């Protein structure tokens, strides 16, 4: 592997594509952990997004002896006291899918009026060196509102129901270029990339 290669501890194809695009712009190649079938799944038992991101990064880094990014993100809905939060990907329980998670979210918010459907996406990113030491930890957020009906086919997760007020569009309707500028993940990586470039000599 080149000395500017980073493993991404994620099995989410669309998330991998977003991160790969963001880091390609600064000369880093991202390889998803799915290319290493012997690496076991990381148990996400942290009580914060940051704890889960750090755990993913350090466990995969030590398993492979490679620089690794751990990323944990999710949706916090005001009317649900911050739920689904760290359980966003598995909100609907065993066998959770985007469709099931969104259906549960809409059901939970069925009686909540538009003006009280405020929500925020959160993205925590951690970088571990091959020895399992976290070298960077950052977080980005993006505020919006949960729609009552699906809008758009883009993105993944809760994106088609997450309205960005200033654009009058959901994340599912925004162009990839716009999303890469304003999303929680984009904002986290805008903090992450300068730190990555600062420590990049360590990659030699």
pLDDT at 2 over 90: no
pLDDT at 1: 62
Rounded CA separation 158/152 (Å) = 11
Cα 194 to Cα 200: distance, rounded to the nearest angstrom: 10
DSSP state, residue 41? P
Residue 191: is its pLDDT beyond 90?
Answer: yes
Above 90 in pLDDT, residue 138?
A: yes
Q: What is the mean pLDDT of residues 21-39?
A: 93
13 annotated binding-site participant: yes
Q: Which residues contact 201 (CB under 8 A, 6 or more apart)?
A: none
Q: Is 179 annotated as a binding residue?
A: yes
Is 157 annotated to bind a ligand? Reply is yes
Residue owning tokens 């925590």: 124
Q: Is 175 known as a binding-site position?
A: no
Give the integer Cα–Cα distance in Å for 99 and 159.
11
Q: Check whether 177 has a pLDDT greater than 90.
A: no
pLDDT at 176: 82
Annotated catalytic residue 72: yes
What is the Rg, in whole angstroms, of the alpha carbon atoms belonging to the chain? 17
Candidates 3, 21, 41, 72; catalytic one: 72
Confirm whether residue 116 is marked as ligand binding: no
Q: Is 72 helix (H, G, I), strand (E, B) or coil?
A: strand
On whether the 5-203 domain is CATH 3.90.950.10, my answer is yes
| Separation CA 116–CA 79 (nearest Å) | 7
């Amino acid at each position: 592997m080149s000395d500017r290669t980073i493993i991404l501890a994620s099995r989410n194809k669309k998330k991998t594509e977003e991160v790969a695009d963001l880091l390609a712009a600064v000369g880093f190649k991202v390889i998803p952990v799915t290319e290493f079938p012997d690496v076991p799944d990381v148990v996400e038992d942290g009580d914060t997004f940051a704890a889960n991101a750090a755990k993913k990064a350090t466990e995969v880094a030590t398993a492979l002896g490679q620089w690794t990014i751990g990323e944990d993100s999710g949706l916090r809905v005001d009317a649900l006291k911050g739920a689904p939060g760290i359980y966003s990907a598995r909100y609907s329980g065993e066998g959770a899918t985007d469709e099931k998670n969104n259906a549960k979210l809409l059901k939970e918010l069925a009686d909540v009026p538009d003006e009280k459907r405020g929500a925020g996406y959160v993205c925590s990113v951690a970088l571990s060196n091959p020895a399992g030491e976290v070298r960077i930890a950052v977080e980005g957020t993006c505020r919006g509102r949960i729609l009552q009906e699906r809008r758009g086919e883009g993105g993944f997760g809760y994106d088609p129901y997450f309205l960005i007020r200033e654009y009058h569009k959901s994340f599912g309707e925004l162009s990839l270029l716009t999303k890469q500028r304003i999303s929680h993940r984009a904002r986290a990586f805008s903090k992450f990339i300068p730190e990555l470039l600062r420590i990049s000599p360590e990659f030699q």
